[in-house]
């Protein structure tokens, strides 16, 4: 195929990465890319080499075979590239595969590449697809830069400018616009975008997005209806299965959840997170053989995954312990912490060790480790720390460590009194301890404590006494050191005190610490960023 002038051909200005494990096919495909108009084509023979190249250099187009021999496959490489920010909305990822089975087609499309092609590939088809994709993605370059810098408002403004001026990437820009509204917490605007898209046609991603909006609003029935429609009308759209499975779990329909996830893994068996989800759901329903099979498959699939997935290890360890093999459980947990040397992995491995010690009859050792876990869990500030702590409390309950579990649940309730989803889990945990009534009273008491503390602080502010308001909120944050709302209210009052009374290194440091903790707990809360910006501007003023 004749190569056109680089001034006319958008492919000429792009850096290409071709990932293909067979040398002969790599040569053929590189030749095709060059004849289609590409001028700079790097090649990689496997997932590890490709990951190193993606980390070192931005590529405009990645053409990747799904099967890459030993190590990462194309799906896992795409997952890692997105997770680590090696590619953005303006990058093109083209997945290729030689297998034409429905399972392989679903697998190739699992992480939503921009397109996928079946071998053998003709030059005319390749050039047509590439030109179309590059042209569509070119409009997203500015948005991609803003998103990489986490300038969500700037990215949203660029989306709106694209839509106002007309864009050939209408669907992609609308999708990004809706997702940015969600990220900024403007759910009504996100809903309006999704509903507008659905008025034009039954678009799968818009149904999923609208279902997420409805879930945020607590409308489980509405979200379920949308997701069931998405699964029925778009049977290959696997993200809808995942979201619907979560809804079924929330509604207590575990057997339906298992059946749905079983359908999904039959469509695409090479998704580690979905195999893991099936294992968890089956285990909860007492279907231990199915759970073990799903967990084993997930553990194998996670070997080359960039994302941390602890569930299959924890689930299989629990199965071993309950089957009277706590030693096998500990071996598996050791493998987990070697593969994932993270704080969460070590914490949850310790929680499962409590179960194993209890099963071995070492009640004193189990109690000591349970107490250690309570202290470690209460000291965490990462975004998922509260969910990890609830998981640990649930494990401690199952391991007959009621006192430690109650202590941890009380701490969580005080610090997350406004998180309805988390409170439902803590309430269920209290109920499993036979403390449903006292658990409900604890939730109500924590809400009163936090509400009264903040009300007192705001009343003192209204009365013109910011220093007294500051002391009132300082007391609140002492008793609730991981409550994001209390921390940000304290920071806001501290800003007022600084503006009225002048510089104070100690108060500035305390304010920064509160904002940092709140950001760690709630990374998408824009109020924390606004307060930090105010403080930075004020301290920079001579």
Residue 44 belongs to some domain of the structure: yes
Residue 222 belongs to some domain of the structure: no
Predicted local distance difference test score (pLDDT) of residue 111: 54
Give the pTM. 0.74
| Domain endpoint, select from 117, 138, 159 | 138
Enclosing domain of residue 80: 10-138
Predicted local distance difference test score (pLDDT) of residue 73: 86
Residue 299 belongs to some domain of the structure: no
Per-residue pLDDT tens over the stretch 326-352? 889 999 999 999 999 888 899 999 999
Residue 516 belongs to some domain of the structure: yes
Highest mean pLDDT among 82-86, 241-245, 264-268: 241-245
CATH number where 14 lies: 3.40.50.2300
- Banded pLDDT at 244 (limits 50, 70, 90): very high
| Residue 44, C-beta contacts closer than 8 angstroms, at least 6 positions apart | 17, 18, 19, 20, 50, 53
The better pLDDT of the pair 87, 224 is held by: 224
Q: Decide if 188 contacts 210 (C-beta within 8 A).
A: no
Residue 215 belongs to some domain of the structure: no
Q: What average pLDDT does range 408-433 have in this prediction?
A: 81
The better pLDDT of the pair 6, 145 is held by: 145
Predicted local distance difference test score (pLDDT) of residue 109: 52
Residue 317 has pLDDT above 90, yes or no: yes
Q: 480 φ, ψ to 5°?
A: -130, 65
Predicted local distance difference test score (pLDDT) of residue 360: 87
CATH number where 483 lies: 1.25.40
Nearest-5° angle of CA 298, CA 301, CA 302?
85
| Domain endpoint, select from 75, 108, 138 | 138
Residue 105 belongs to some domain of the structure: yes
The better pLDDT of the pair 525, 428 is held by: 428
Residue 522 belongs to some domain of the structure: yes
Q: Decide if 494 contacts 534 (C-beta within 8 A).
A: no
Q: What average pLDDT does range 144-155 have in this prediction?
A: 86
- Banded pLDDT at 423 (limits 50, 70, 90): confident
Q: What average pLDDT does range 48-73 have in this prediction?
A: 89
CA–CA separation, 303 and 308 (whole Å): 10
How many separate domains does the chain show?
2
Per-residue pLDDT tens over the stretch 77-91? 888 888 888 887 778
The better pLDDT of the pair 505, 140 is held by: 505
| Domain endpoint, select from 138, 154, 180 | 138
- Banded pLDDT at 105 (limits 50, 70, 90): low
* Burial annotation 446-472 (CB, 10 A radius, 16+ → b, else e): beebbeebbebbbebbeeeebebbbeb
- Banded pLDDT at 1 (limits 50, 70, 90): very low
Residue 81 belongs to some domain of the structure: yes
């Amino acid at each position: 195929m004749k190569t056109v002038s680089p001034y006319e051909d958008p492919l000429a200005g792009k850096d290409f990465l071709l990932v293909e494990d067979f040398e002969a096919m790599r040569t053929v495909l590189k030749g095709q890319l060059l004849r289609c108009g590409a001028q700079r084509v790097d090649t990689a023979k496997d997932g590890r080499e490709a990951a190193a190249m993606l980390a070192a250099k931005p590529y405009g187009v990645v053409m990747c075979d799904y099967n890459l021999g030993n190590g990462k496959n194309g799906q896992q490489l795409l997952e890692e590239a997105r997770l680590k920010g090696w590619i953005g909305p303006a990058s093109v990822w083209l997945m290729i595969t030689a297998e034409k089975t429905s399972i392989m087609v679903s697998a190739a499309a699992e992480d939503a590449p921009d397109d996928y092609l079946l071998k053998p590939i003709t030059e005319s088809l390749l050039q047509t697809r590439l030109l179309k994709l590059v042209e569509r993605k070119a409009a997203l370059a500015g948005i991609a830069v803003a998103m990489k810098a986490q300038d969500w408002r700037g990215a949203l403004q660029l989306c709106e400018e694209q839509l106002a001026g007309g864009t050939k990437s209408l669907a992609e820009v609308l999708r990004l616009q809706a997702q940015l509204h969600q990220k900024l917490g403007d759910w009504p605007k996100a809903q309006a975008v999704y509903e507008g898209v659905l008025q034009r046609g039954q678009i799968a991603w818009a149904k999923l997005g609208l279902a997420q909006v409805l879930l945020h609003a607590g409308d489980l029935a509405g979200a379920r209806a949308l997701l069931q429609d998405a699964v029925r009308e778009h049977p290959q759209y696997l993200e809808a299965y995942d979201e619907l499975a979560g809804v079924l779990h929330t509604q207590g329909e575990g057997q339906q959840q298992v059946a749905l996830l079983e359908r999904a893994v039959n469509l695409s068996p090479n998704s580690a997170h979905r195999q893991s989800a099936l294992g968890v759901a089956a285990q909860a329903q007492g279907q231990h053989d199915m759970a073990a099979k799903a967990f084993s498959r997930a553990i194998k699939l996670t070997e080359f995954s960039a994302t941390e997935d602890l569930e299959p290890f924890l689930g299989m360890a629990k199965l071993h312990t309950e089957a009277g093999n706590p030693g096998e459980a500990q071996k598996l947990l050791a493998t987990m912490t070697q593969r994932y040397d993270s704080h969460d992995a070590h914490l949850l491995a310790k929680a499962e060790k409590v179960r194993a010690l209890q099963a071995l009859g070492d009640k004193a050792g189990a109690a000591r480790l349970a107490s250690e876990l309570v202290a470690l869990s209460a000291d965490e500030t990462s975004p998922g720390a509260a969910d990890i702590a609830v998981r640990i409390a649930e494990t401690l309950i199952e391991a007959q460590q009621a006192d430690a579990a109650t202590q941890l649940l009380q701490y969580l309730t005080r610090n997350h009194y406004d998180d309805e989803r988390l409170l439902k889990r803590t309430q269920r945990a209290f109920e499993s301890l036979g403390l449903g009534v006292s658990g409900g009273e604890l939730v109500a008491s924590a809400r009163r404590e936090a509400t009264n503390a903040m009300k007192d602080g705001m009343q003192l502010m209204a009365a013109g006494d910011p220093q007294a308001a500051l002391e009132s909120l300082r007391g609140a944050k002492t008793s609730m050191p991981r409550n994001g709302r209390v921390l940000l209210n304290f920071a806001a009052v501290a800003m007022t005190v600084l503006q009225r009374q002048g510089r104070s290194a100690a108060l500035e440091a305390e304010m920064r610490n509160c904002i940092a903790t709140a950001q760690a707990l709630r990374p998408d809360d824009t109020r924390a960023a606004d307060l930090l910006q105010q403080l930075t501007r004020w301290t920079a003023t001579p």
